[in-house]
Structure 1
Amino acid sequence: MNSIPEFAELLAGCERSAVHFEARDAYFSNPRFEDWQQGERVDWGDRASWWRPYHQHVADAVARGVSVRRARVVSEPVTDYIRWEHYQTRANVEAGEAVRWLPRHQATGLLLPATDFWLFDDRLMRVHHFSGDGEWIDNELRDEPTLVSAYAEAFEAVWDRAIRHDEYEVK
């Protein structure tokens, strides 16, 4: 596969399910994270101020009947970045995404992928590659049935153990 479609295109082509696995404790910085570190908070009553194209893509997929789920494996105590992600996750949930958190110490016995990924309809996987300090490197598409199946099983194992977003307290 030479050209990698944009995320929005992959999600738009999804018919049943899209799952996102994340296992890093920090990602590249961005202005919203930096603002949050300086004490700024989202005005949840002003949807236009926080609703992003990503949220609309998810809402559109969910409206078509696509199940969109995200599982995050995190170290505790959490990093500031994860604390911010937890705070920001309200937007994902309001878009229709189901989110769960798995403390890393509760993942013992699970075989976890070494990379973050999106899996679309259990057939196509977009694998994300980051540097050690969390900077985005690139991504790749994979569709080998054995690999896709292994990643799907890993996601489901994490999902089954993980704590619903509204029940997870950052520590």
Structure 2
Amino acid sequence: MRACRRSAVHLEMRDAYMLDEAYDDWQAGRLFDPAERWPEWTALMASTTGRGVAIRRARIVSEPVSDYIRYEHSVTTTHNVGGGEQVRWLPRRRATDIPLPGNDFWLFDGETLAVNHFSGDGDWLDVEVTEDPAVVKLCAEAFESVWERAVPHAEYRLH
């Protein structure tokens, strides 16, 4: 992210990720400020977008949404959008005809792909970095197809 010059796009396709203390607090009704909980991320996003890098995040979600997606949606305005990201949500039913990669990813400047690998329980395992043109092209096209159909965060209503 720090080396990114023009754009960073992130595609998320899971209905749940690792469960952590923040999720537990949210479920218990203990409100918190995401910018205070994750200050490093907030600072990184602010400095990255401040350099003129466009950051877009698209999430493909099943509906009705999982509790984890409800949590994610609740912190997105402050945590992601507040840090300068553009975020959109695509109901999974509307993604059936989009060729999608098997894993979540970040694509930096349309050239470097960071593929995230998770366990079945949603725990992050590792990241695989590639600049293979065919893989980068697949992921870039998948992201753009999702982005075109997805609903901007401010307009997306949980079902």
CA distance in 2, matches of 1:59, 1:149: 28
SS in 2 for 1:12: coil
SS in 2 for 1:76: coil
**Deviations along 1:127-149, whole A, 9 cap, x unmatched?**
00011111111111011111101
Query: Are residue 13 (structure 1) and residue 29 (structure 2) matched?
Result: no
SS in 2 for 1:157: helix
* Unaligned runs of at least 5 residues, structure 2: none
Letter in 2 for 1:27: Y
Structure 1 length-normalised TM: 0.89
CA distance in 1, matches of 2:21, 2:144: 32
- Partner residue of 2:71? 84
Pick one of 60, 68, 91 that aligns with 2:47.
60
- Partner residue of 2:26? 36
* Unaligned runs of at least 5 residues, structure 1: 1-10
CA distance in 2, matches of 1:111, 1:69: 19
Shift of 1:120: 0.3
SS in 2 for 1:39: coil
**Deviations along 1:54-105, whole A, 9 cap, x unmatched?**
1111111111110000000000011000000000101210110000000001
Shift of 1:12: 0.9
Shift of 1:51: 5.0
Runs of 4+ displaced beyond 6 Å: none
CA distance in 1, matches of 2:123, 2:136: 25
